[in-house]
A and B are shown apart, each in its own frame.
Chain A
């Protein structure tokens, strides 16, 4: 976290209850622009629930999730917007969104938050190329005059489609699937499906990319390739990354900022080196017996 870092996403007092179970309680954290923020924690800590709240799949029981496109100064309007009851505040220098007020598809379409899923959700019967074109649905829909002009072959839809295909081709090459572009997504090997899901999310031009355990089930080589891909997304585009991960090597290697959850409560927040040495984190992950801690510390490389 550098001094110049600008907040992109602010989660405040986020609480999600399922009946009597508090999946996430009073969670507050910030994700910064052009950074990779990792959300880690043991199984059942509520990480995916936080993702589902941010991307609009769940309505949080309490709390506020703000996201800004453009100027930092929009954060000053956060309380005004909250009191006003609107979903977003658009100004000439940017837009402030309150994600908890938006339905899931608008979070993706307007607020430009894209996500992947823990259990891969590709369109398995559609080709790699088609998957990436579906991700560009909204701009293409506009170009086809909401289908009306497109059916008649008017309005320059063909040009927009070519541009969309070019963009898809760029991502297909970037994830190394150039020779499999016309194969169905369901026929790809597991690692390629993970990469394709990230590429598909990137085709929506997100400002925030939420990756739910992207390295799950990958072998060390694939995992290293994935790290390179995520780093290149941070460095070469304007997209920031929010990451849920179990694989500590991934988290420690690529993230700029780590938030640790345990039983739905934040127990640590800071740069990776700091979190790695935090006693509460070590206890949460590894239990408290001294010899276990020592063994695990050796594993993590302490």
Chain B
């Protein structure tokens, strides 16, 4: 083989004008054919219940125009740009690498600082009335899912056991809190650890029969367990009140001072006008503390022998047994500790809502939590937190996109597109970042130099 010729200085890629136009025309024709029945024609019922055909030419032609424009942009901009990139491989710029390094170093403290001042920030920016939404719907909701994600991350991400019924422990925590508070009048802070212990108990109970199962079989059985718990909650009416759920769950109090408009309430005690945002901010800090506790405990567990055994179990179970690790107990602790955090989150959820019913604990919740863990990068806590913000915050933000109605007409409801966007996001992540947002593994202990481990070497675990 001859030596490679030296690369020419200028871009060698030439746009073929005719071909670009031809491509655009073909794309346009295909789009027209597809969209004509889908968008161009529409059937509506008139006042006499007869179907009438309605045509929507402007919308059809806008869509076809968009497709043609997209094809032209691809031919004239994206393809030449990619060819250029291929000719001139990007050299990693030292400044960018430096920035990346610095950014990663300060990311965690900055993020924790931000979530700590977030309610104040929203009070300042959105005012008292406006911040109820931002603190409650966004802040608290996202943090609950961060907590659930971190809990499931122990089971799925570290120990490599795919658990599709995690919502069961969330439900156990919520119902334990609600029932014990209703019947024994215990307070939130007494019941929080108790709900965690009960969820742990159920985690062990589930763990025992399924330990012999692996991979897909484990996933199916955990899925069934989640459904069993939900069906018991629906059908055991004397205890759980069935579909009607449990209402009037006591709210957490500020050292015994309730958040209400009464004379003994928080506002009256501190001599400030009553506002619901006080409770929202208080709840926000409770769940923030719980999330930080979960994260801290998980970080510590990873550095303890049990955490390393979980990861070793994910990598190779037979090798673990040959080293004298009791894999049964190791799996059980993963289930139990994961379930405990789910139980904490569940009891917080019940206390925040004041009302729970089986509707809150459907398979959809389990799927969302698994999606958060997978999207975040299995085993990575920062990844899980970012994924929870993106997924839960993303769906909440869809409610805020009312201005799109001006564009697409009054019937347009952005929240209806939630699942579509959700699926699209998942597909894109799996194409570009198949190991999740944080695809590398950080070693739990180092001798000389900390190096991230490429996701291609880390196994995903098969139960």
Contacts and interface: CB of A to CB of B under 8 A. Distances in A.
Given A114-B322, A123-B315, A130 B306 contact: no
Contact of B315 (A125, A133, A147, A165): A125
B320 interface: yes
B316 A123 contact: yes
Residue of A127, A165, A169 with most partner-chain B CB within 10 A: A127
B318 interface: yes
A182 interface: yes
A232 B322 CA distance: 22
Given A105-B326, A141-B305, A183-B451, A133 B319 contact: no
A147 B304 contact: yes
A105 B316 contact: no
Given A134-B309, A134-B312, A124 B304 contact: no
Contacts of B36: none
Interface string B306-337: 10110110111011111111110000010000
Contacts of B448: 181-182
B447 A105 contact: no
Interface residues of B, number: 39
Contact of A151 (B304, B308, B322, B441): B304
Contact of A200 (B301, B323, B451, B453): B323
Nearest to B296: A151
A126 B322 contact: no
A182 B445 CA distance: 9
B454 interface: yes
B446 interface: yes
Contact of B308 (A104, A134, A184, A187): A134
A108 B301 CA distance: 24
B308 A150 contact: no
B320 A134 contact: yes
A229 to B, nearest CB: 19
A114 B323 contact: yes
A186 B457 contact: yes
Contacts of A147: 301, 304-306, 333
A97 to B, nearest CB: 13
B303 to A, nearest CB: 8
Contacts of A238: none
Contacts of A34: none
B322 A184 contact: no
Residue of B333, B441, B443 with most partner-chain A CB within 10 A: B443
A129 interface: yes
Contact of B325 (A55, A134, A169): A134
B323 A135 contact: yes
Interface in A226-281: none
A127 B306 contact: no
B450 A182 contact: yes
A121 interface: yes
Interface in A1-36: none
A47 interface: no
B333 A184 contact: no
B292 to A, nearest CB: 15
Interface string A129-144: 1100111111011001
Contact of A123 (B301, B312, B321, B326): B312
Given A147-B304, A186-B457, A133 B445 contact: yes
Nearest to A56: B321
A183 B447 CA distance: 10
A182 B305 CA distance: 18
Contact of A137 (B325, B333, B441, B450): B325
A151 B333 CA distance: 14
Contacts of A144: 304-306
A124 B323 contact: no
B353 interface: no
A182 B447 contact: yes
- Give the bracket for the number of chain A residues in contact with chain B: 35 or more
A152 B15 CA distance: 65
Contacts of B323: 108, 114, 134-135, 137, 200-201, 204
B322 A137 contact: no
Given A124-B457, A140-B305, A108 B321 contact: yes
A125 B453 CA distance: 7
Interface string B277-318: 000000000000000000001001100111011011011101
Contacts of B324: 105-106, 108-109, 137-138, 204
B449 interface: yes
A134 B330 CA distance: 12
A38 interface: no
Interface in B407-463: 441, 443-451, 453-454, 457-459
Contacts of A75: none
Contacts of B321: 57, 104-105, 108
B331 to A, nearest CB: 12
B442 to A, nearest CB: 10
A172 to B, nearest CB: 8
Contacts of A125: 311, 314-315, 441, 453, 457-459
Contacts of B309: 134, 137, 141
Nearest to B327: A105
Interface in B109-135: none
Nearest to B309: A137
A117 interface: yes
Given A108-B321, A138-B324, 16 more contacts: A104-B321, A105-B321, A122-B319, A124-B457, A124-B458, A125-B311, A125-B314, A125-B315, A125-B457, A126-B443, A127-B453, A129-B447, A130-B308, A151-B301, A181-B447, A200-B323
Interface of A: 55, 57, 104-106, 108-109, 114-115, 117, 121-127, 129-130, 133-138, 140-141, 144, 147, 150-151, 153, 157, 161, 165, 169, 172, 181-184, 186-187, 200-201, 204
Interface of B: 297, 300-301, 304-306, 308-309, 311-312, 314-316, 318-327, 333, 441, 443-451, 453-454, 457-459
24 contacts: A55-B322, A57-B318, A105-B321, A105-B326, A108-B322, A117-B322, A121-B316, A121-B322, A122-B316, A124-B458, A130-B311, A130-B445, A141-B305, A144-B306, A147-B305, A150-B305, A165-B447, A169-B447, A172-B447, A181-B448, A182-B449, A184-B458, A187-B454, A201-B322
The 4 closest A-B pairs by CB, nearest first: A125-B458, A109-B324, A108-B324, A123-B315
